[in-house]
Chains A and B, each alone.
Chain A
Amino acid sequence: AQSVTQLGSHVSVSEGALVLLRCNYSSSVPPYLFWYVQYPNQGLQLLLKYTSAATLVKGINGFEAEFKKSETSFHLTKPSAHMSDAAEYFCAVKGSSNTGKLIFGQGTTLQVKP
């Protein structure tokens, strides 16, 4: 069965600093992995996804993530944080069945300090 663990429920960075949000997955099959962002009282917006192509995936808003099979990780990074990046971030893995359901981590709240 697939599962996702996000390390750190809250991450705080200064504006302009590196953003690193950690995600580790467990999957019995080659995984499809996703990062979503959620602003307060809104739905989820896709940042980027890994579907077995290039291991370094570039997404929107300057975010990128690297798939590392040996570490079973898919950490999200951004070189320089903006105030507008403050939100909740979810890592997810696609289930192996044909239902296509996503299995989410618990989420990480990113705080950006001026």
Chain B
Amino acid sequence: SQTIHQWPATLVQPVGSPLSLECTVEGTSNPNLYWYRQAAGRGLQLLFYSVGIGQISSEVPQNLSASRPQDRQFILSSKKLLLSDSGFYLCAWSRAYGYTFGSGTRLTVV
């Protein structure tokens, strides 16, 4: 069966520090991968998506970047975090019309 792993579950980072969130998928190949952010009291905003290794599309200008070094690995990064980067980050994968979300990472930038 397909599973998606996302870590860490919670993270508190100071302003200006780097960030790396990792997401891995098991049980499928060549999935579409996504990073969403949910800010407090707001809906889900698509940040990045990837249809293949090394292929990254950004949906909104921001302080973050994404990479897909392997077929089932999707990484969200920042060189210097801002206060506004705080939020709940969700990784997801899809094939056909099925979508599966990770359990999320709560990032607090202080």
Which residue numbers of A lie inside 8 Å of B, CB to CB?
Answer: 32, 34, 36, 41-46, 49, 51, 90, 94, 98-107
Q: List, in ascending order, chain A residues with CB within 8 A of B6's CB.
A: 43
What are the 9 closest A-B residue pairs judged by CB atoms, nearest first? Answer: A106-B43, A43-B101, A44-B101, A104-B44, A43-B103, A100-B94, A100-B32, A107-B43, A43-B104
Rounded to whole angstroms, the CA-CA distance of A92 and B36 in the bound complex is: 13
Q: In the bound complex, do residue B103 and residue A103 qualify as a contact, i.e. CB atoms below 8 Å apart?
A: no
Q: List, in ascending order, chain A residues with CB within 8 A of B97's CB.
A: 32, 49, 51, 94
Does B74 reach chain A (CB closer than 8 Å)?
no
Rounded to whole angstroms, the CA-CA distance of A100 and B106 in the bound complex is: 25
Known contacts A41-B106, A46-B99, A94-B97; A99/B49 CB under 8 A: yes
Q: In the bound complex, do residue B43 and residue A43 qualify as a contact, i.e. CB atoms below 8 Å apart?
A: no
Q: List, in ascending order, chain B residues with CB within 8 A of A105's CB.
A: 43
Q: In the bound complex, do residue A101 and residue B34 qualify as a contact, i.e. CB atoms below 8 Å apart?
A: yes
13 further A-B contacts with Cβ under 8 Å, apart from A102-B46, A106-B43, are: A36-B101, A41-B88, A41-B106, A94-B97, A99-B49, A100-B99, A101-B34, A101-B59, A104-B36, A104-B43, A107-B42, A107-B43, A107-B44
Q: In the bound complex, do residue B51 and residue A98 qualify as a contact, i.e. CB atoms below 8 Å apart?
A: yes
Please list 28 pairs of residues, one from A and one from B, whose beta carbons are closer than 8 Å in the complex, sorted by A's number. A34-B99, A41-B88, A41-B104, A42-B104, A43-B101, A43-B102, A43-B103, A43-B104, A44-B90, A44-B101, A46-B99, A51-B97, A94-B97, A98-B51, A99-B49, A99-B57, A100-B32, A100-B95, A100-B99, A101-B32, A101-B46, A101-B49, A102-B92, A102-B94, A104-B43, A105-B43, A107-B42, A107-B43
Rounded to whole angstroms, the CA-CA distance of A104 and B99 in the bound complex is: 13
Q: How many residues of B contact A (CB 8 A)?
A: 24
Q: How far is the CB of A11 from chain B (nearest CB, A)?
A: 15
Q: How far is the CB of B7 from chain A (nearest CB, A)?
A: 12
What 0/1 pattern do residues 58 to 71 of B give for CB contact below 8 A with A?
01000000000000
